[in-house]
């Protein structure tokens, strides 16, 4: 590793304690999407202390912010998340399920680490620009409500990511790997039926059931499933069954639908077809339906050039120094897990090169995966992420870093429990260095940015980003 890069990455190591405390303070104040006032304030203050220019309230969202350092191009962004999950409160380092406060949120997706890790990367790049008097701008984006709120989608709609040359992010988890999976585009919509209440036995002829309409809509959608592209995903939740008394004709009912497909135009078409079914159901039952658009995400555009750079950095930068204490905690947590196929196993199964497989052999049964997975084949994932909307604006790459025991599930109490442990913080600092190292490589070799942009243009067909969220839809969390 070149001296300048090593020096910049040392900025992360010298702030080790401070960054760990920042992550812990976010863990101690878990806040759900669009309510992350403590996290936003804490991270924004940390940026100001480092000399970043902070802009708060981006896109009209109180907890969306950015910190900018430097001037001129290239402009490199780091994406930070910090929202927690509702109801996942759990005591730290505790290997039985025990909430700190019953019903409170908890960091089950490790976003306390995610936000601080990306911030640490931004600080290292700032250090690099400053020490070497190099033109360029580094930006940290405080992105609220990743969990179900599509915060980045609303920020993208407002043009927050305009002018970026590249962006990097990461996710805490159980493996060290570059993310080569594209995500699905999605729409989330509410269908509210309105009918007429009546005594279901005495005067059923006077009632018009909103619940009947809702059930007919769902039946219609089940038939639609046969006639959509193979990868399509259609999910729904009945959020209002219209009441609990069968003796009353239900005058209101609501379902929330989540429609996913590989490409946005496919989701748009699916949405129109589902709307027709809802309207048909309303017509059949002489009720009415109000269709409310909640949010949307674009698919993630993979960038193999940036993925290659991130893979190099994953392999070049010394891995997290997990010690016996970390392994011990990991083993205890593993004792509470229900056996299932892990992400590591999924990636491992796909490796065909016997040499690569041999390299990972020692790691298969390790309590924490320390190895770096080889760069995987690109593939279509079935989840969605609001990083998709950033990736339509500029080339984006993401890594996963091991911050938790092997085999752990996201959104679990176990994930909350290890979120404050030394193991988690070690993984976070490793991820920060890999992201910063990748950005520094791009600053040192302009052909990286050039190639990444050419690829981006090719993959998007040169189409400019168009927000999938209509202009009148406001951010909210369900």
Residues that bind Zn ion (CB under 5 A): 109
Q: Give least dist CB 113 to Zn ion, A.
A: 10
Q: Give least dist CB 128 to Zn ion, A.
A: 27
Q: Give least dist CB 109 to Zn ion, A.
A: 3
6 or 411: whose CB is closer to Zn ion?
A: 411
Concatenate the DSSP letters of all residues of 384-436 into one string. --THHHHHTTS-EEEEEEE-S-TTPPTTSHHHHHTTTSHHHHHHHHHHHHHHH
156 or 211: whose CB is closer to Zn ion?
A: 156
Q: Is the backbone of residue 302 left (phi > 0), alpha (psi -120 to 50) or beta? A: beta
The strand pairing partners of 297, in sequence order, are 186
Q: Give least dist CB 257 to Zn ion, A.
A: 20
Q: Give least dist CB 415 to Zn ion, A.
A: 9
Q: Give least dist CB 158 to Zn ion, A.
A: 22
Inter-helix orientation angle 16-28/111-132, to 10° = 150
Helices (H), 206-321: 210-224, 264-285, 304-316
Q: Give least dist CB 378 to Zn ion, A.
A: 21
The strand pairing partners of 177, in sequence order, are 400
141 or 191: whose CB is closer to Zn ion?
A: 141
Q: Give the Cα separation of 412 and 107 in Å (integer).
A: 9
27 or 271: whose CB is closer to Zn ion?
A: 27
Q: Give the Cα separation of 385 and 154 in Å (integer).
A: 13
266 or 421: whose CB is closer to Zn ion?
A: 421
233 or 263: whose CB is closer to Zn ion?
A: 233
The strand pairing partners of 334, in sequence order, are none
Q: Give least dist CB 75 to Zn ion, A.
A: 25
Q: Give the Cα separation of 127 and 12 in Å (integer).
A: 10
Q: Give least dist CB 127 to Zn ion, A.
A: 27
364 or 478: whose CB is closer to Zn ion?
A: 478
Other C-beta atoms within 10 Å of 1: how many?
A: 13
82 or 257: whose CB is closer to Zn ion?
A: 82
Q: Give the Cα separation of 443 and 57 in Å (integer).
A: 29
Taking CB atoms, the residue at the shortest distance from Zn ion is: 109
113 or 256: whose CB is closer to Zn ion?
A: 113
CA nearest to 115, candidates 25, 7, 207: 25
Over its C-alpha atoms, the chain yields an Rg (Å, rounded) of 24
Residue 256: both structure tokens together: 């929330």
Element (H, E) at 116: helix 111-132
Q: Give least dist CB 274 to Zn ion, A.
A: 25
Q: What is the 3-state secondary structure (H, E, C) of 101-113?
A: CCCCCECCCCHHH
137 or 403: whose CB is closer to Zn ion?
A: 403
CA nearest to 391, candidates 468, 460, 319, 291: 460
């Amino acid at each position: 590793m070149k001296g300048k890069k090593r020096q910049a990455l040392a900025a992360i190591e010298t702030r080790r304690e401070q960054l760990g405390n920042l992550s812990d303070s976010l863990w101690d104040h878990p806040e759900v999407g669009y309510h992350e006032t403590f996290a936003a304030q804490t991270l924004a203050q940390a940026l100001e202390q480092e000399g970043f220019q902070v802009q708060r309230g981006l896109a009209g969202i109180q907890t969306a912010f950015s910190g900018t350092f430097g001037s001129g191009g290239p402009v490199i962004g780091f994406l930070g998340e910090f929202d927690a999950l509702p109801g996942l409160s759990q005591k730290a380092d505790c290997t039985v399920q025990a909430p700190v406060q019953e019903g409170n949120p908890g960091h089950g997706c490790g976003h306390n680490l995610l936000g601080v890790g990306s911030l640490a990367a931004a600080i290292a790049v700032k250090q690099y620009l400053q020490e070497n008097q190099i033109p360029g701008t580094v930006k940290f984006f405080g992105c609220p409500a990743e969990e179900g709120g599509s915060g980045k989608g609303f920020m993208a709609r407002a043009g927050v990511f305009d002018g970026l040359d590249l962006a990097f992010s990461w996710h805490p988890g159980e493996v060290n790997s570059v993310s080569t999976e594209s995500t699905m585009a999605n729409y989330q919509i509410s269908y509210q039926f309105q009918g007429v209440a009546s005594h279901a036995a005495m005067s059923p002829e006077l009632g018009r059931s909103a619940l009947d309409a809702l059930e007919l809509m769902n039946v219609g959608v089940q038939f639609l499933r046969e006639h959509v592209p193979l990868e399509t995903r259609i999910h729904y939740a009945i959020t209002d069954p219209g009441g609990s008394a069968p003796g009353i004709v239900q005058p209101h009912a609501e379902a929330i639908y989540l429609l996913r497909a590989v490409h946005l135009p496919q989701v748009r078409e699916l949405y129109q077809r589902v709307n027709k079914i809802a309207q048909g159901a309303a017509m059949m039952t002489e009720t009415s339906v109000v269709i409310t658009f909640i949010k949307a995400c674009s698919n993630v555009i993979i960038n193999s050039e940036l993925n290659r750079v991130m893979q190099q950095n994953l392999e070049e930068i010394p891995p997290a120094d997990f010690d016996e204490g970390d392994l011990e905690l990991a083993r205890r947590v593993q004792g509470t897990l229900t056996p299932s196929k892990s992400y590591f196993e999924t990636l491992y199964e796909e490796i065909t090169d016997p040499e690569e497989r041999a390299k990972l052999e020692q790691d298969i049964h390790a309590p924490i995966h320390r190895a770096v997975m080889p760069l995987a084949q690109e593939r279509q994932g079935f989840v969605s992420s609001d990083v998709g909307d950033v990736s339509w604006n500029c080339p984006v790459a993401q890594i996963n870093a091991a911050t938790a025991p092997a085999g752990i599930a996201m959104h679990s109490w176990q994930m909350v429990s290890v979120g404050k442990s030394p193991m988690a913080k070690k993984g976070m600092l490793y991820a920060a260095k890999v992201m910063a190292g990748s950005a520094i490589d791009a600053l040192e070799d302009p052909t990286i940015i050039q190639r990444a942009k050419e690829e981006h243009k090719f993959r998007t067909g040169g189409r400019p980003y168009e927000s999938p969220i209509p202009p009148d839809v406001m951010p909210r969390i369900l």
